[in-house]
Amino acid sequence: MEVRVEGQMVEGQAGDSVASVLQKALSGKRFKAVVAARALGGAEGLLDLSSPVPAGCEGLEPVYADSAEGLQMIRHSTAHVMAAAVKKLFPTARVTIGPSIDTGFYYDFDVEKPFSTEDFPAIEAEMQRIANAREPFTHEVLSKADAVARFKALGENYKVEIIEGIDADTVSVYTCGDFADLCRGPHVPHTGFTKASKLMSVAGAYWRGDEKNRMLSRIYGTAFADEKALAAYLKMMEEAKRRDHRKLGRELSLFTFKEDVAPGMVFWLPKGMLIRTILEDFWRKEHLKRGYDIVQGPQLLRVETWQKSGHYDHYRENMYFTQIEEDAYGVKPMNCIAHMLIYGNELHSYRDLPQRYFELGVVHRHEKSGVLHGLLRVRQFTQDDAHIICAPEQLEGEILEVIHLIRDLMHLFGFEYKVAVSTRPESSIGTDEAWEMATSALVQAVEKAGLPYTINEGDGAFYGPKIDVRLLDCIGREWQCSTIQVDFTLPERFDLTYVGQDGERHRPVMVHRAIMGSLERFIGILVENFAGALPTWLAPEQARLLTVTDAGDEAAASMRDELKALGIRAQADTRNEKLGFKVREAQLAKVPYILVVGEKEVQAGGANVRLRNGDNLGLKSVAEIAALIRADAEEPFKKGGMRYSFA
């Protein structure tokens, strides 16, 4: 048979291993970097290098260690190596599951004493021993009965439970050294590919995520194709710790959490609430400028409404419910239903379209306590939700306008971003024709906007496909924020119509969109991206006047009031403390402009201007200081189609 490998036709025999075929087409150096292959043609799928080339295979696509798929395989294989090391050092530990995740991998163990980071050196040393041994990952397929017998003999009752729940006659098992694990695979050829690894943290996790089950001990780790990539990641993680918004939120007095009172819900402190208010006011004005109407819906809707929308069937596990008199209500997890009901409140003509409804709407979503994470994962949050109801022929233009709004926001904060189009998931509502129309509309709009994009198969919302935009922060992390979703289904369910030019009623299409997404999450991202030193226009305190002696108190207070009258957020520190101490405190508070008022400055009627980065601009009058701050605040807005207002 002939198999195509990277443009070459390679001769092979039935039963030849994937590795032997690839070796004929690839140089020694390139082949050594291959961890698996994807079969193309009549027998598609990922294959171990030791697997035989399947019948009907037309081509083999090498999977390299430094590719996304290769990295996922390295991490999954490293999870097996870690489990093998744990079993060697802690023979009574029982293994459960150990998948790869976006940042690395984890494995859950049932142990008498939970693991701590103090156990890491010994585990990592054993992992390196296994990696250096270059032990092969061998694959075998067992009958369910044989697999149950094997893992029962090993005392691995969790594996037995998993096997008994599998709806198949056979199961897949991988072995490296003495350690066998239930796994679909594929895996890297040998443990030598797992050398660049590091254990990161420990946590508790319930078996199968059920709080009624036994608490397990979870070890998180990460792995990369080489030591250089691992070192770069660890450096980024150290920087991320320095920028952690939870730490900075405490230090800058922005927000707090009271887990004993309201877990997963934010208590905004004055400075944090000021940041949020500035952001909300700016965002409302921007939407009004772009033709949106501001609306607001109720927090509670009858359960029948959520059943009608499909949320009850597809989303109820993430919702909160309550009873009022004889009726059951659902607390809104999204704003779309209220916006459709607002549209349906009156009859619309084609001349009225599009209708663009915008709401900074508070929503509640039930998240398990284990995944709550500061502002980034909460149970109550505010979403910059908008719904555009338009005629089908207006759809592409409306999506383009939303893309332009996303672009302008990303430019404002200096973010680069990635775009993905997500298609129909397994659990969905609506016809095939509607899904095809909606997906096509999104793809055409993205292409017309000139944006590179990827396809995320099966990752759409249950009611329609979507565009997801992931921003990249200053240390290279990706964050999901913006989304655009086309929906032909809910307008049908809620019987939304408009009167067309022909005098007949027609069905509109709806676009769900959020740009910042959760405001809480977006503010958390901003705090981390700027390490707390927010852009001047968003800083809760733009200027702080520092007195040298009490002789400057009156002048400092007067200048503060003048700056406030000019729209500058200014405070005065007149405490009887040394100037160096006050300057240091202002720098720690990330105040953009530090204004020193000593005897010379009092006589000149101004202040000595220092920036938070340490630069000294010298003596300036109040008018000059206000002009400096205004210009600094307006600078980011010169990059796009947005404007800043002190009003």
- CATH code of the domain in which 487 resides: 3.30.930.10
Same domain flag for 232 and 303: no
Same domain flag for 144 and 211: yes
Same domain flag for 484 and 615: no
Same domain flag for 139 and 234: yes
Same domain flag for 392 and 494: yes
CA distance 271 to 251: 12
- Among 23, 45, 64, give the residue marking a domain's end: 64
Assess if residue 56 is contained within a domain. Answer: yes
Tell me what pLDDT residue 42 has. 64
Tell me what pLDDT residue 647 has. 47
Assess if residue 281 is contained within a domain. Answer: no
Q: Tell me which residue of 219, 220, 198 sits closest to 110, measured CA to CA.
A: 219
- pTM recorded for the entire structure: 0.84
State the binding site: 336, 387, 512
Same domain flag for 31 and 151: no
What three-state secondary structure class fits 593? strand
Same domain flag for 453 and 584: no
Contact yes or no for 419/451 (Cβ under 8 A): yes
Q: Where are the alpha helices (DSSP H) in 449-489?
A: none
Same domain flag for 339 and 466: yes
- CATH code of the domain in which 149 resides: 3.30.980.10
Half-sphere exposure of 598 (CA within 13 A, CB side): 11
Same domain flag for 473 and 492: yes
Assess if residue 266 is contained within a domain. Answer: no
Same domain flag for 410 and 386: yes
Assess if residue 458 is contained within a domain. Answer: yes
Assess if residue 280 is contained within a domain. Answer: no
State the binding site for Zn(2+): 336, 387, 512
Domain membership of residue 515 as a residue range: 295-529
- Among 64, 95, 116, give the residue marking a domain's end: 64
Assess if residue 584 is contained within a domain. Answer: yes
Sign of the CA dihedral running 57, 75, 226, 416: positive
- CATH code of the domain in which 547 resides: 3.40.50.800
- Among 31, 49, 64, give the residue marking a domain's end: 64
CA distance 208 to 97: 9
Assess if residue 45 is contained within a domain. Answer: yes
Give 191's contacts (C-beta < 8 A, 6+ positions apart): 77, 81, 130, 131, 133, 134, 135, 136, 137, 176, 177
List, for the chain, all residue ranges whose pLDDT scores fall below the cut of 50. Answer: 647
Same domain flag for 548 and 617: yes
Q: How many domains does the chain have?
A: 4
| Residue 210: how many other CB atoms lie within 10 Å | 8
Active site residues: 336, 365, 383, 385, 387, 466, 512
Same domain flag for 359 and 404: yes
Tell me what pLDDT residue 646 has. 53
Tell me what pLDDT residue 264 has. 95
Assess if residue 267 is contained within a domain. Answer: no
